[in-house]
Amino acid sequence: MDERAFSAGQAFLLSAKLFWTHKLFGAVKDEVRTASPQPKTLADVAKVLSPSTTYAYFEWFERHLQKMKYSGRYGLVPHADGLRRDLLARLDVNSPLVQVDPALPMPDYYTSVDVHQHPGGVWSDELAGFVYEEGARSTTPAMGVKHADLHQRFTDLIVSEGKPKRILDMGCGFGKSTRPFYRDLPEAEVTAVDLAAPCLNVAGVQASQDQARNVRFLQKNAYETGLPAGSFDLVTSTMLLHEMPPEKIEATMAEAARVLAPGGRMVHLDFHMLPDAFARFIHYGHAVRNNEVYMEPWAEMDIAALLRKQGFTDVTIAPFAEADNVPPDAWRFPWTVISATKAA
Amino acid sequence: MTDAPSLGPEQQFFADPALDRMMGVVMAMAQELYVTRDRLRGLETLLAEKGVVSTAALDRAPTEAEARARQDDLKEFVGALLTPLLAQKTSHG
């Protein structure tokens, strides 16, 4: 596949996604806004939208634009496959910043579904980290090229309340969430863990280019890291929890409590607060259409109660603005910050 | 292109699954069209840079002779595109 065709094919999809984000979503929202009586429950919203042709197109485009992004003729996967030798040459499998563990078992919940419709998931092909990195650039199309800003904004939020010295980033993926921490806090030691070796290897490439000396990427399970107890001031994650079944989320929170020092903070950025039945309906539909089967059970969890039960204090659940000017009527994720403190 | 292994049927959003499938064909064609448009624009840019063609000349409205010549081509094009809407057989049986 030539690069110009790939670029044009992907640009077409992104443009169509923007139409979906603003126009199609706006039309669907209007159908619900003008419905009488006003829908109040999930079932009410379903009753309005199930017979709607506009909503059928909204669903179709959400499913298939993502499918075409990864798998179509100009998809990310065939594109990366065509560049396999060159991409593999960019990886430094002996990077001192990355420790992979080929013996680490991959949990069934993780391997049984290709999240984001990424064929083979983010873990099975050694190029998957590159594919995921490229795919994530258009995850939030309304933000355009400023998608990376949300990680910076999240880091800024945490740092505004104090500078941690020992940081654990759980489910770091290809390191986009980790990067603002190791760049902005050169005095801190940053440990980042993920199940996917292909993603960790991409994270290592970026960190090497950044000449980072204060970060290490380890192939580990977030709910069973094996890291020393009480060894972190901050445990964080970004877009991790919604990919896990409830029992693993509970175990991950318990693991965070274990590895945090007394008085340490835990701050997670994820999709959780859904202000009304329409937002909930759209989000749960997105979960099905984007192969993210644990999004709904995660959104239904009483995470505040769980954290208090586990002994955390100062539990807060708050909405998070991913950009300065979020278009009010465009489709967006329900960004939420979940934070808590380990009792001193 | 090799056949991918079947992973099961795709999700359905329209009452008639034919529409789900046809939308896939339409969008694949639309993407191909855009890729071709982009290629053509790139080609024109390169040719203009080399002084082979003038962008202004390419963009001007067709002359009457060109428009007349285009009519036959358009008639054939539109006929081929829309005749299936008439749902008529072209062979006995």
pLDDT tens, A21-46?
999 999 999 999 999 999 999 999 99
| In a domain? residue B9 | no
Nearest partner of A344 among A273, A288, A262, A278, judged by Cα: A262
Q: What percent of chain B has pLDDT over 90?
A: 51
8 Å CB contact of B28 and A288:
no
CA distance B72 to chain A (A): 31
Asked if B45 is an interface residue toward chain A (Cβ–Cβ < 8 A), one would say no
d(CA A213, CA B13): 50
Q: What residues of B are in contact with residue A57 (Cβ under 8 Å)? A: 13
Both tokens of A319, joined, read 């909405």
Summarised one tens digit per residue, pLDDT across range B31-71 is 999 999 999 999 999 999 999 999 888 888 888 898 888 88
Under the banding of pLDDT at 50, 70 and 90, the label for residue A140 is low
- Chain B positions touching A68 (Cβ under 8 A) are 27-28, 31
Q: In the structure, what pLDDT confidence band is assigned to residue A9 with cuts at 50, 70 and 90?
A: very high
Domain total for chain B? 1
Q: What is the pLDDT of residue A144?
A: 57
Q: Largest Cα–Cα distance of chain B, in whole Å? A: 57
Query: Phi/psi of residue A301, each to 5°?
Result: -70, 145
Interatomic CA distance for residues A27 and A39, integer angstroms: 16
| A5 in B contact zone (CB under 8 Å) | yes
ipTM greater than cut 0.90: no
Say whether A63 and B23 touch across the interface (CB within 8 A). Answer: no
Between A and B, how many residue pairs show a Cβ–Cβ distance under 8 A? 51
CB contact under 8 A, B31 and A73: yes
In this predicted structure, what is the pLDDT of residue B78?
87
d(C-alpha A171, C-alpha A115), whole Å: 14
Q: Which domain holds residue B50?
A: 17-84
> Do the domain assignments include residue B47?
yes
Alpha-carbon gap, residue B40 to A240, rounded angstroms: 43
Report the pLDDT value the prediction gives residue B89, as an integer from 0 to 100: 79
Domain membership of residue B50 (yes or no) is: yes
| Mean predicted lDDT score pLDDT of chain A | 95
| Domain annotation covers residue B3 | no
Whether B11 and chain A come into contact, CB under 8 Å, resolves to yes
Residue in B3, B13, B21, B26 to test binding to A, most A beta-carbons within 10 Å: B13
Please tell me the distance in Å from A253's CA to the nearest CA on chain B.
34
Residue keyed to tokens 């002994």: A311
- Bridge pairing between strands A312-319 and A335-342: antiparallel
Average pLDDT over residues A61-79: 95
CB A149 within 8 A of CB A238: no
Q: Does B38 lie at the interface with A, CB-CB under 8 angstroms?
A: yes
Higher per-residue confidence, A120 vs A145: A120
CATH of domain A141-342: 3.40.50.150
Residues in chain A with CB shorter than 8 Å from the CB of B20 are 60
What are the pLDDT digits (tens) for A93-118?
Answer: 889 999 999 999 999 999 999 999 99
Q: What is the Cα–Cα distance from A175 to A290, expressed in whole angstroms?
A: 22
> Mean pLDDT lowest for which of A99-103, A138-142, A150-154, B77-81?
A138-142
Assigned domain for B42 exists:
yes
Full DSSP string of A101-157: -TTPPPPHHHHSS-GGG-TTTTTSSTTHHHHHHHHHTTSSGGGGGGGGHHHHHHHHH
Contacts of B23 in chain A (CB under 8 A): 60, 64
**Who contacts A46 (Cβ-Cβ below 8 Å, separation ≥6)?**
A281
Q: Does residue B37 lie in a domain region?
A: yes
